[in-house]
Structures are given as C-alpha cells and as structure tokens.
Amino acid sequence: MLMILTWVLLKSVTREPPRSHVPYPAAPEATPARVINVSSIGNFFFSPEGGFRVDDLSAEKHYGYYERYGSSKLANILFTRELGRREYDDGNHVVSYSLHPGAIASTNLSRHTSFGAVWDLLVVLFWKKGGFSVLRRETFKTIPQGAATTIVAALDSFVPPSAHLADCQLSDAVHHSASVELQEKLWKVSEEMIASVVSQ
C-alpha cells in the first residue's frame, strides 16, 4: 500500500523542470518535497534474522504477529532509503524519512491484546541482543510528544536525506539486516506486485 500511494503521488511531488543538482539544504529556494514514513522501534525487536520473508510477504506459509509487525516496520525503513536513493540521489526534488514516534500509551491500540501476547512481547524485548540498551531509552509519550518527531521530519532543514529518526533526532535503532541489497529486493518485489494488480 505504501509503495502504491507513493507511486501514484510521486509525479505530483517531483518538481520538473528544473531539477536541482545543488546539495540539500544548500538550496533553500528549491526545497525538496518530503515523503515521511512512520515506522516503529518494533523493526529492531521483532524482525526475523533475514529482515522479512521476501518469498512469503502475504504470510500464506508462516505467520507470527510480532514478526510480521516488525517486518512491516522494517519494510517502511527500507522503502524510505531506497526511495531516497532512487529519487534524491538521482537529482530529483524528493527526500524521504522514516521515524519511530515513540511508545504512546494513550492511543488505546492495545485494548484487545491478550495476556499471552503481552508475555510474548516481554520475552522478545528482554532477550533481544542489544535490546536492553535500546529499550531503556524508551519512555511513554503523550500524543503531542509522539507527533513531534514527525514534525521534525517534515520541517527541519538540517535532517539529512533518508534519515531514520526517534525522539526528534537521528536514530540507529534499525534491524541489522537492513542493507542496500535488501532495499533493492523489496523494491523489485513491490514493483512486481503492483504491476500484477494494475494489469488486472
């Protein structure tokens, strides 16, 4: 869905002509359009070893709710980076960012979460390698506090293109499987899926 939406809107947000080849943000008169993808720290904790199951994106062969959540959030980050590589690095007026808004307890999103699911969550959080150092930086946020990082991504001219953000600053809490190779693979598979839908 994310790629389909971007694919539809991309021509609208890309300014042509002219194409600026001046490094951002040195050209404030030609500020690039921004694509912002809300991800989650769940990408770090819940994605499987390889990032996600490229051969089973629809979860017909295997389904685990936390794994699929983590993979989907990692996909947001990979998509963001590949879009930036293809658009901004290619000289187009589009930059992209991904972000973790924080743990926002007041949204009531977990109202249907079972005790078993909570237990599974705790097990993953405390056994994830390097998880404690990431988790201890997390504090519950209000909705306005959670929205702050999105505002920074949308407006701060000093955030580098294709950056991942958390707590209104650059973040490295990204699953270790993230790579250019995986970005390209996800993009290619997504294009194939879109083509199959559009051709119907």
Q: How far apart are CA 85 and CA 73, in angstroms?
A: 19
Q: What is the domain-level CATH number for residue 96?
A: 3.40.50.720
Please tell me the number of Cα atoms within 13 Å of 184 on its side-chain side. 4
Asked if the structure places residue 36 within a domain, the reply is yes
Residue 98 lies in a domain: yes
Q: Does the pLDDT at position 198 exceed 70?
A: yes
Number of domain units in the chain: 1
The answer to the question of residue 132 being in a domain is yes
- C-alpha span between 139 and 149 (Å, rounded): 14
Pair 39, 73: CB distance under 8 Å: yes
Beta bridge partners, 100, equal 166
Residue 173 lies in a domain: yes
* Choice among 24, 66, 69, 97 that is catalytic: 69
Burial per residue of 26-48, b for 16 or more beta-carbon CB atoms within 10 angstroms, e otherwise: eeeeeebbbbbbebbbbbbbbbb
Three-state DSSP at 104 gives strand
Placement of tokens 């504090």 in the chain: 139
156 occurs within a structural domain: yes
Is 69 tagged catalytic?
yes
pLDDT at 170 over 90: yes
**Phi, psi (rounded to 5 degrees) for 147:** -80, -20
The helix (run of H) or strand (run of E) holding residue 100 is strand 94-100
- The pLDDT of residue 12 is 57
For residues 79 and 100, what is the distance between their CA atoms, to the nearest angstrom? 15
Which residues contact residue 6 at a Cβ distance below 8 angstroms, ignoring those fewer than 6 apart?
35, 79, 83
CB atoms within 10 A of CB 109: 9
Instruction: Kindly report which listed range (11-15, 32-36, 73-77, 154-158) carries the lowest average pLDDT score.
Output: 11-15
- Can you give the pLDDT at residue 27? 44
**Three-state SS at 137:** coil
Q: What is the pTM of this model?
A: 0.77
Q: Does 166 reside within a domain?
A: yes
Is 179 domain-assigned? yes
Q: 179-192 burial, b for 16+ CB within 10 Å, e for fewer?
A: eeebbebbbeebee
- Structural domain boundaries enclosing 98: 31-191
Residue 194 or 170, more confident: 170
The answer to whether position 48 is within a domain reads yes
- Looking at residues 17-40, what average pLDDT do you find? 64
